[in-house]
Amino acid sequence: MGLVREPLQAAPAPAVATETAPARHAVARPAPTTASRPIAVYAPPTDAIGCPTTEAVAGATSLQELQLAIQGCLACPLGPGRLKFVFGEGDPSARLLFVGEGPGRDEDLQGRPFVGKAGELLDKMIGAIGLRRDQTYIANVVKCRPPDNRTPTSEEAAACLGYLRRQIELIRPAVIVTLGATPLRELVGVSEGITRVRGQWKRVVVGGREIPVMPTFHPAYVLRQYTQDVRRAVWEDLKAAKEWADKAEGA
Cβ at position 239, least distance to ligand URA in Å: 21
Dihedral sign for Cα 207, 208, 212, 217, please.
positive
Ranges within 138-157 binding ligand URA (CB under 6 A) = 140
119 vs 173 by CB, closer to ligand URA: 119
Cβ at position 114, least distance to ligand URA in Å: 4
Q: How many angstroms separate the CA atoms of 161 and 244, rounded?
A: 25
Return the residue of 79, 90, 102, 173 that touches ligand URA, per CB under 6 A: 102
Please choose, from the candidates 157, 182, 98, the residue with its C-alpha nearest in 3D space to the C-alpha of residue 132.
Answer: 98
Dihedral sign for Cα 8, 9, 10, 11, please.
positive
Return the residue of 51, 57, 108, 114 that touches ligand URA, per CB under 6 A: 114
Q: How many angstroms separate the CA atoms of 53 and 59, rounded?
A: 10
Cβ at position 115, least distance to ligand URA in Å: 7
Return the residue of 118, 131, 175, 240 that touches ligand URA, per CB under 6 A: 118
11 vs 186 by CB, closer to ligand URA: 186
165 vs 186 by CB, closer to ligand URA: 186
218 vs 242 by CB, closer to ligand URA: 218
Give me the residues paired with residue 138 across strands.
Answer: 89, 98
113 binds ligand URA (CB under 6 A): yes
7 vs 119 by CB, closer to ligand URA: 119
The half-sphere exposure of 184 on its side-chain side, counting CA atoms within 13 A, is 24
Cβ at position 180, least distance to ligand URA in Å: 7
Cβ at position 225, least distance to ligand URA in Å: 16
Give me the residues paired with residue 212 across strands.
Answer: 203
104 binds ligand URA (CB under 6 A): yes
Give me the residues paired with residue 89 across strands.
Answer: 138
Cβ at position 157, least distance to ligand URA in Å: 12
Return the residue of 103, 146, 162, 173 that touches ligand URA, per CB under 6 A: 103
Q: How many angstroms separate the CA atoms of 170 and 164, rounded?
A: 10
The site for ligand URA, by CB under 6 A, has a size of 11
The residue with its CB nearest to ligand URA is 100
107 binds ligand URA (CB under 6 A): yes
- Note whether 181 and 193 are within 8 A (CB): yes
Which amino acid, 230?
Answer: V
Please choose, from the candidates 3, 2, 5, 7, the residue with its C-alpha nearest in 3D space to the C-alpha of residue 174.
Answer: 7
Helix (H) or strand (E) run with residue 177 in it: strand 175-179
Q: How many angstroms separate the CA atoms of 182 and 193, rounded?
A: 10
Dihedral sign for Cα 96, 131, 142, 149, please.
positive
| Residues of the shown chain interacting with ligand URA in the complex, contacts defined by CB under 6 A | 100-104, 107, 113-114, 118-119, 140
